[in-house]
Chain A
């Protein structure tokens, strides 16, 4: 696969940072030291022509040690601010990360003189944060927090600064590369979705079956607070769309009693999408959850204090991420933060994310109906399924981008598109991007599917066809194809479907066959199918309502 192209704009020498990132990315940096502002202002710059897919503005405050007055400072920062604003005016559709800044003011001040570095850092932060809040493609890369965590003495090197205007030490370079890599992985890589948690000595201290609800360690202060703070981090993740589940060997009643009634539990029954509290093998519990929630093994993180349990799960479920459990549980809170940053942190919070736990919980209720009604059409009728299919509008960009990059199972071609590529297609008359939303009597599922159709000369080609795993198995794909066939009838005779196999899209290997498409050709890269539009397509009658709108909004 081609390396993604990124640009790093900086006021210091970042060649060594770029060199490390080049293992994974194609990295553009402007020629010449501190040329980033000139580069931003130059319309002819490769920055704007090179198919760059993400931009990092990485600013360093070491040069402020050489400034002699607050006025010099203000001028310098005004320049940075203007250049940043200019860049954001010009690039509106690919992610731009703007760093926070550690201003390293001189320390030669008496105990009573004013120092400025805190307010300078704050002023810059306010500026960057307001950009992130007002522009949908701007994000904050908080390098300042990283420097504080690493410690300046370890992060910087005076020698490198004076030799080559490169402020970082070897450790500093590693930290900067790591921060940039994490930001880029939030753009380009799929994220984990769910944490399966042990209970005893993980969510609280002690063993509930032996110590009882009053005996376990969990409190807002002192020792018990290490579990309270850990739960708080988990709750914060849950509110950002990360699912939580329980995977514990316990008597269910004992454990639920603590979960429901312990005065300091932050995570209650409604925080979890699945509770496996039994004496079964924990790996089979995880496999059950996969089926129950329609998630792949690779979506799971498993946290357990017991190394034997971790070993068992890692042997049986190799794709589950199993972090080391801290030997000293005072480090639980750090572990949670690191885990979040490494595998969950996303660019921004969508409405779907906020309601995710609830969506999965209603899904469980739906499953309960499904097991009592055998026929799929009956089930769809009982659910009162509704579908709304329309041509994508600008406001849906973020969610469509998220789906294109996160959907693994029901994804016929698994093409990962950047926001820019999607908005280019949106503006291009050759492409019709349809979004699919669905709802049922338990609630709104939101925007759950995307179909990108390319108008070729003789046929319409389904370039991308994907659906969130939450709504699989409800004939929504039949609804979509039937509506698309109706829409393109009269314009085209043939609809082409493409299937590209990945490790994860096994559930849809036969999807086009099931939908009545015929195989035209096949090679290692995948299959090409065709559908005769003139023969029409059967309507799905079990849906309570199907709205289709092929007009551009």
Chain B
């Protein structure tokens, strides 16, 4: 599932999957801006068939945080 997650993220952010890891930070990775965050949410919600509450999104600091939300 980790691998699938990173692939979905890479595709959504339009970057190579090698450029990202679970440690990739929202603040420090240029392609992941606020607009990309919205697209990303739409993509992972669809891909993993989940709905992530808006409260949780503000606390996302890196991809690991986002990934953890999928399991809640």
Contact = CB atoms under 8 A, between A and B. Distances in A.
Interface of A: 13, 15-16, 157, 159-160, 162-164, 166, 169-170, 173
A159 B54 contact: yes
B35 A160 contact: no
Contacts of B37: 163
A160 B38 contact: yes
16 contacts: A13-B35, A16-B35, A16-B38, A16-B39, A160-B41, A160-B42, A162-B54, A163-B38, A163-B41, A163-B57, A164-B35, A164-B38, A169-B42, A170-B42, A170-B46, A173-B42
B68 interface: no
A173 B42 CA distance: 11
Interface of B: 34-35, 37-39, 41-43, 46, 51, 54, 57
A13 B42 CA distance: 15
A205 to B, nearest CB: 40
B55 to A, nearest CB: 11
A16 B35 CA distance: 8
A477 B35 CA distance: 55
Given A159-B51, A159-B54, A169-B42, 13 more contacts: A15-B35, A16-B38, A16-B39, A159-B41, A160-B38, A160-B41, A163-B37, A163-B41, A163-B57, A164-B34, A164-B35, A170-B46, A173-B42
A170 B54 CA distance: 16
Contacts of B46: 170
By secondary structure, the B interface counts as helix
Nearest to A157: B42
A183 to B, nearest CB: 23
Nearest to B43: A170
Contacts of B57: 163
A169 B51 CA distance: 12
A170 B47 CA distance: 12
Q: 6 smallest A-B Cβ distances: which pairs?
A: A170-B42, A15-B35, A164-B38, A160-B38, A159-B54, A163-B38
Contacts of B54: 159, 162-163
A170 B46 CA distance: 9
A16 B42 CA distance: 11
Nearest to B51: A159
A173 B41 CA distance: 14
Nearest to A164: B38
Indicate the member of B34, B38, B46 with the most A CB atoms within 10 Å. Answer: B38
A162 B51 CA distance: 15
B26 to A, nearest CB: 14
Nearest to B33: A15
Contacts of A164: 34-35, 38
B38 to A, nearest CB: 5
A16 B46 CA distance: 16
B71 to A, nearest CB: 19
Indicate the member of A157, A159, A166 with the most B CB atoms within 10 Å. Answer: A159
Contacts of A160: 38, 41-42
Nearest to A162: B54
A160 B51 CA distance: 12
Contacts of B41: 159-160, 163
Nearest to A170: B42
Contacts of A13: 35
Contacts of B51: 159
